[in-house]
Amino acid sequence: MRSISVSKDFSGAKLWLRGSVLVLAGFLAFSTIYVVGLEPMVYLHDTFHDIRHSTGFPCH
């Protein structure tokens, strides 16, 4: 019986994927901090307050 083994090197693709995920996570973190930093706190509180109530989580 014959066996055929195929060996492929995916290290370049894995490195590219890891880099892409890192860049995307960094962009998401930076944009979240930027938006939160510019948004008045009363609006953020009201937004998260409504989200907590809509998911059924008591907050007060």
In a domain, 2, yes or no: no
Residue 3 lies in a domain: no
Encoded amino acid at 26, one letter: G
Instruction: Give the structural domain span for 14.
Output: 8-55
Question: What 3-state DSSP class applies to 54?
Answer: helix
pLDDT score for 10:
62
User: Is the residue at 20 inside a domain?
Assistant: yes
- Distance from chain centroid for Cα 31: 11
Domain tally, the chain? 1
**Whether 53 contacts 59, CB under 8 Å:** yes
Residue 8: predicted pLDDT: 65
pTM: 0.49
Joined together, the tokens standing for residue 2 give 């014959």
Any residues with CB less than 8 A from the CB of 53 and at least 6 apart, and which?
A: 59
pLDDT tens per residue, range 38-60? 777 787 778 878 888 888 877 66
**Residues 9-37: pLDDT tens digits?**
667 778 888 899 999 999 999 888 887 77
Give Cα 5 to chain centroid, integer Å. Answer: 37
